[in-house]
Chains A and B, each alone.
Chain A
Amino acid sequence: MGLFRSALDYLGAAGHWTGYDGILPLTLSHLKITLIAVLLAAAVGLTLGIALGHARRGGAVVTVLANLTRAVPVLGLLALLATNGSLGVTATSAILALAVFAIAPILTNAYTGMSTVDPETLEAASGLGMSGRQVLLGVELPLALPLLAAGLRTAVLQVFATATIASFVGASTLGNLIADGQATSSYDQVLAGAICIAVIAVILDLLLGAVQALVTPGTANPLRRVADRRAAEPAEATAKLP
């Protein structure tokens, strides 16, 4: 366990936190890359998922897409990107790759959330005289919200984890600590980097879990409870990605 102590010593040294390759700037850059990639993925995934789920069309395509992304090794696609001389590796291409990976969980959850809203509820809403737009904004979307949130949570964690790996193909993230540490045989740095990544991932998950719980109140409304259960245990569609 001496290695763990040396990693804690590494984390205890103020000089390791600042500076060009310090923990703080790398954390900020890691989070920034994650945020941009998830926003890009959400723009595509939410739009498509909500539209398809609302129309209740394209379910087969969504399922195939989700299954395919499970089988594709993220590491391999990043390496492909890095080997492509014409594109080169820039922060931009890494962010684009991360965004593409993140579309699937957002899209599938949004689709499921929209398409599993009880049709009778929608009929009842129309029966009350709500316009199509009112039904969509006032009934469907709120009922789908727990799953929309679940998809975004999965996507954030997935992109955060993949960004760790992306440091090996040039993105500036906390993965740099591991990559540089391995290259220079500084095992305290490697371990310190892993600790930071693990701790931040768990904190992110707890924060997003709290947000998810906020938009999924366990009220007396039985529809809410059904949605809650769906979001709490998505037995499918959440293969561990990176």
Chain B
Amino acid sequence: MILSAAPSCYSRSVNAWFCSQYVHDYSGDIQHAFIQHVRLSVLILAISIVLSFPLALLALRSRLIRSSILSLLGIIYTIPSLALFVLLQPVFGVTHSTPVVVALVGYAQLLLVRNVLVGLEEVPEEVLEAARGTGYGPLRLLLGVRIPIAVPAILAGIRLTTVSTIALLSVGGLIQQGGLGQLILDGQQRDIRAQVVTGVIIIVALALVADLLLLLVQRLATPWARVRT
């Protein structure tokens, strides 16, 4: 006859920081939060990357446009994430993740546009001259010469943005839209240490794995360049 089972490691009396029993029992919740986190991160990064190119090209048109765009992005970047999420809620709705996506895309623009600009501007003038001399038009010059040469800087920007987006997304948990951030906050409110620790570890691991994958892409895409980080 079993009188009582030993208390699980995430029970109130034990409340261990690391507890595989918790991961086992709550695998459904963890998986759900993880998938939401990955889904939102991928969505934010995809929109951000697509948006950053026209912005960077616009910024290249004149010094005034360039400094206006960078100042505006700088101001957005300065606004703390929680405040920006909340400020976007009346516009994009309180009950879904659009405010978080829009805010994080906004933050990502500063990092991405700046890096795309750095990349495009570091193309040596002689290279451009040579290409023009062989009959490259403006569009072919951009797609065939400038962007390929800018790839290392662009990928460096994407890596930085990816890691920072994955970590920052967790703040969305404070408005019930943060994937793993919500798992963490829920764990804190219910005082289950293992849940908080599990959430933090998965976020850090996700960021590091994404960074490594992008590093691999960077190496494959630029076999000629020594990787500078």
Contacts and interface: CB of A to CB of B under 8 A. Distances in A.
Interface in A182-199: 182, 187, 190-191, 193-195, 197-198
A75 B86 contact: no
A113 interface: no
Nearest to A157: B78
Contacts of A3: 89-90
Interface string A191-222: 10111011001100100000000000000000
A interface residue count range (under 10 / 10 to 19 / 20 to 34 / 35 or more)? 35 or more
B86 A191 contact: yes
Contact of A73 (B118, B167, B188): B167
Nearest to A3: B90
A190 B94 CA distance: 12
Nearest to B107: A240
Contacts, number: 157
Contacts of B75: 202, 205
Given A71-B208, A79-B184, A175-B82, 9 more contacts: A70-B160, A76-B181, A83-B193, A187-B94, A194-B83, A197-B82, A198-B80, A240-B164, A242-B82
Interface of B: 15, 74-75, 77-84, 86-87, 89-90, 94, 107, 110-111, 114-115, 118, 153, 156, 160, 163-164, 166-168, 170-171, 173-175, 178, 180-181, 184-185, 187-188, 191-193, 196-197, 199-200, 203-204, 207-208, 211, 229
Interface of A: 1, 3-4, 63, 67, 70-77, 79-80, 82-85, 157, 160-161, 164-165, 168-169, 175, 178, 182, 187, 190-191, 193-195, 197-198, 201-202, 205, 233, 235-236, 238-242
